[in-house]
Structure 1
Amino acid sequence: MVAIRSILALMIAAMASAAYAAPPGDATEAALDHCLALPANASTAGQVECEQAAAKAYDRRMNASYTTLMRRLPPSAKGQLQRSQRAWLVYRDSEFNAQGGIYATRQGTMYVPMQADSAATLTRDRARLLESYVRVMSIE
């Protein structure tokens, strides 16, 4: 019985981490990598523009997944998702402020694209999580 529970726990953990991982061929990530590799974007400003474009793309993906979920979920789950998303938005804004405070203590232009990457990563992770929920809702 203990062995079965252990195996079940491992399977659930593996499925959760697989669902949260980058989808194979993540177009936004590929576009970001391509953008950052262009010689024209070797500057701080170019790198920041690439990160901001990725953040906007992840935001669109997050919103599309949220909309899809709100259409598919029953009322009780819709309310839970809505509260979760609102709480995440508060967290995101608070984290942006904290990141700004942390990076403001650093000297040098290399920290500017690092901050842009940190900001994009927050939205990327939420987008991927909501996309994983959409995949779960697609299982029959």
Structure 2
Amino acid sequence: MKKWLPVACLLLSGYAGAQDNLIDQKLQRCLNRESSTVGMSQCYDAANKAWDQEMNNQYNQMMKKLTGAPKAKLKSAQRAWLAYRDSWLDASKSYFSANQGTMAMLSLGAQGVDLVRNQALMLQSINKGSCANPDDC
């Protein structure tokens, strides 16, 4: 149990930093405004698209900077992450659809946003050269 505490703190600190992001602020305002499952799902879809664009921006910046093996490794890692994301969401869809009914679409929307946000922030941390300082991530 003790070995998971630092990991949990790191994840929570990253999430707290992400809450200051304009994309997440817009998502929160949208969710506060909506009362239907369909409306909230649209909020998650918009946030997912915005985070996906940010992730792609960070990735493209890195690809312009890198050459040789580092560039090939980043490309390979991003492709592997995309496969992981799709696989994870497929497994989650299977579980949530069987266990949550209409709330499944919200759970999947939130997970999709979290996955893409985290990848965008990881790419940003590489792009900036550090993730030791929360302001860098």
TM-score w.r.t. length of structure 1: 0.77
Q: What stretches of structure 1 of length at least 5 have no aligned partner?
A: 1-12
Deviation at 1:102, TM superposition (A): 0.6
Is the aligned partner of 1:106 residue 2:99? yes
Deviation at 1:136, TM superposition (A): 0.9
- Pick from 71, 77, 81 the counterpart of residue 78 of structure 1: 71
The whole-number CA distance in structure 2 between the counterparts of 1:30 and 1:74 is: 36
* Aligned position for 1:10: none
* Aligned position for 2:38: 45
- Alignment-mate amino acid for residue 119 of structure 2: R
* Superposition pairs of residues 1-140 of structure 1, within 5 angstroms: 17=10, 21=14, 22=17, 25-38=20-33, 41-136=34-129
* Aligned position for 1:6: none
Partner SS state of residue 99, structure 2:
coil
Higher RCO, 1 or 2 (CA under 8 Å, sep at least 6)?
Answer: 1
Partner SS state of residue 105, structure 1:
helix
Partner SS state of residue 109, structure 1:
helix
Change (3 A) 1:112 1:134: same
Matched pairs, number? 120
TM-score w.r.t. length of structure 2: 0.79
Listed one character per residue, the Cα deviations across residues 45-100 of structure 1 (whole Å, up to 9, x for unaligned) are: 01100001000001000000000000112321100100000111111111111011
- Alignment-mate amino acid for residue 124 of structure 2: E
Contact map agreement 2:44 2:109 (CA 8 A) in 1: yes
CA RMSD in angstroms comes to: 2.2
Q: What stretches of structure 2 of length at least 5 have no aligned partner?
A: 1-5, 131-137
Partner SS state of residue 102, structure 2:
coil
Larger radius of gyration: 1
